[in-house]
């Protein structure tokens, strides 16, 4: 897991490649956070499902899904939240969920899509083909553009 930087309102962004257990020791501990799932084609259904289940067991406020199949995976999040007891029924809002069919690649993401109010935001990549460093740089560029170049990325941290 790598830190990307902090925006002008104080949200600190992180990125990780999903593998079982990668979410066990989050850099921000048990504090609430938001996340966006970025799956690669073809979608690794079992890995995606496992990532959703792990995220739902954390102090998550918002879960966002993007293409491919963003609405389908959004529905899976809601169904699993009910099955795990996070919410009584679908649409209870614990966690809040949204899908973005317009977000097909990193460059389509905009911080305006971050509906949550958490201090931490995690991009979770499922079976990505390019390097994590490449995605960190692309996300950093995207976030800098959204902030008028004002993202603080000086303290890049990694966690095991």
Strand partners, 100: 66
Q: What is the pLDDT of residue 158?
A: 34
Q: Where are the domains of the chain?
A: 2-146
> pLDDT tens-digit profile of 34-57?
999 998 888 889 999 999 999 999
State the pLDDT at residue 154: 41
Asked if pLDDT for residue 153 goes beyond 60, the answer is no
The pTM score is: 0.87
Spelled out in words, what is the top-level CATH class assigned to the domain 2-146? Answer: alpha beta
pLDDT at 22 over 90: yes
Distance, CA of 41 to CA of 78 (rounded, Å): 22
- Is it the case that residue 8 has pLDDT exceeding 90? no
pLDDT value of position 36: 94
């Amino acid at each position: 897991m790598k830190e990307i930087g902090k925006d002008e309102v104080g949200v600190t962004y992180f990125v990780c490649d999903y593998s079982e257990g990668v979410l066990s020791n989050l850099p921000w501990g048990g504090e609430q956070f938001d996340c966006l799932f970025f799956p690669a084609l073809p979608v690794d259904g079992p890995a995606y499902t496992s990532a959703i289940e792990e995220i739902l067991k954390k102090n998550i406020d918002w879960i966002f899904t993007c293409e491919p199949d963003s609405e389908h995976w959004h529905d899976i999040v809601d169904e699993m939240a009910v099955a795990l007891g996070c919410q009584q029924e679908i649409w209870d809002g614990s966690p809040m969920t949204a899908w973005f069919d317009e977000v097909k690649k990193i460059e389509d993401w905009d911080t305006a899509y971050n509906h949550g109010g958490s201090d931490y935001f995690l991009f979770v990549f499922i079976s990505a083909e390019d390097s994590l460093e490449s995605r960190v740089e692309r996300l950093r560029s995207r976030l800098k553009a959204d902030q008028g170049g004002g993202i603080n990325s000086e303290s890049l941290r990694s966690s095991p």
